Amino acid sequence: MEYLQTFWADLPVVVQILLKIAAIMVPLLITVAYYTYAERKVIGHMQARMGPNRVGLFGFRLLGLGQPIADAVKLMFKEIIIPSGANKLLFLLAPLLSIGPALAAWAVFPFDAGLVLADINAGLLYILALTSLGVYGIIIAGWASNSKYALLGAMRSAAQIVAYEIAMGFALVGVLVAAGSLNLGEIVAAQQGNLLNWYWLPLLPLFVIYFISGVAETNRAPFDVAEGESEIVAGFHVEYSGMTFAVFFLAEYANMILISALTALMFLGGWLSPFQGTPLAGWFDWVPGIFWFLMKTGFFMFCFLWFRATFPRYRYDQIMRLGWKVFIPITIVWIVLIAWLKVA
């Protein structure tokens, strides 16, 4: 153990940081792969189907656990078709622009007390800035494809993301007013105490608005008009094939995990144990904080799938109305209320 510690300390800082990035990215990408599997399984069971159950590993079926790997291999060997008249450079750049921010946002994420790659004091602002960049991938994909469906999808998506980003930003302003800090670790620390101290209760409207806006921001059902299979085929990524298409998918699922993790962090007390402040607290002391964090994140990830299996797609004008005329006014009122409570 001591040998390992000295070995770690002797490594150059760049190598240390790279190893930490790998320690976040590898589990994240595996989660993304198995999230697609979970989606098909969960929705399958909700609709009284089996979901994928054929592709296994090493000759065993294992409930179809080999499916994501088979999908990845299939996508890698498919041809990347670039439409004639498409802007080649931007066409290939768009998937990268959509996955980059989704992965970079994890840099400031505290998984447990002190377990964070970059503990910067404007962490919340950094996350807001990066999530707002995801829209570029979609707009550029829509424009560079030189296709009407793609452009329409991109326009819908851009308008929707801009609208819901404001509601999301305001919901987070409420959190930062309540916590008095932009540092994610301090925001979690401010929720110490017990389950009722977590911000889901004091900031209940903001909690609901944040998560719904998160669903809209990631273009997921019931807000998936940007893809709208039944009207505009697949929206902004209709012209993409093979790995370029897969990267868009990875970005979408990475964003869903990011939103789930952020909701857990901001409103459900991150790594804090739900038994804190109850007589049971002593029994669960041995559970590492990251376990609670992952459980909470997992719950919201499940909600994404649950919504998709439950709700019919929103009409486009209703999406806009919900964003601009319902969510934004409610968040503004709640921010003022919280600021007043904080000062009084």
Partner 1 sequence: MSFQLLLFYLFAAVLIGAALMVITRRNPVHSALFLVLAFFSCSGLWMLAEAEFLAIALVLVYVGAVMVLFLFVVMMLDINLAELRAGFVRNAPVAVLVALLIGAQLVLILGPERFGLAQFAAPVPKPADYSNTEALGLALFTEHLYAFEIAAVILLVGIIAAISLTLRRRPTTRYQNPGQQVRVQAKDRLRVVKMDAEDVA
Residues that bind partner 1 (CB under 8 A): 90, 120-122, 125-126, 128-129, 132-133, 135-136, 139-140, 143, 151, 154-155, 158-159, 161-162, 165, 182, 317-318, 321
Q: d(Cα 135, Cα 128) in Å, to the nearest integer?
A: 12
How open is the CA angle 21-24-29, to the nearest 5 degrees?
115
User: In terms of CB distance, is 181 or 197 closer to partner 1?
Assistant: 181
Distance CA(301)–CA(303), nearest Å, equals 5
Taking the least distance from each CB to partner 1, the nearer of 29 and 120 is 120
Taking the complex as a whole, the smallest distance from the CB of residue 121 to partner 1 amounts, in Å, to 5
Residue nearer to partner 1 on the CB measure, 1 or 14? 14
Tokens linked to 136: 């570029």
Shortest separation between residue 160's beta carbon and partner 1, angstroms? 11
Nearer residue to partner 1 within complex by CB, 145 or 273: 145
Q: How far is the CB of 66 from partner 1 (least distance, A)?
A: 39
- Nearest approach in angstroms of CB 276 to partner 1 is 26
Residue 158 C-beta: closest distance to partner 1, Å = 6
Sign for the pseudo-dihedral over CA of 299, 305, 306, 307: positive
The CB-of-130 to partner 1 minimum distance in angstroms stands at: 8
Tokens (6 digits) for 225: 């008009």
Q: What does the alpha-carbon distance between residue 22 and residue 32 come to, in Å, rounded to a whole number?
A: 15
Which 3 state secondary structure label does DSSP give 60?
strand
Among residues 16 and 278, whose Cβ is nearest to partner 1? 16
Pull the structure tokens for residue 83.
Answer: 């439409």
Which residue, 79 or 317, is less far from partner 1 as judged by CB?
A: 317
**DSSP structure string for 202-227:** TTHHHHHHHHHHHHHHTT-TTSGGGT
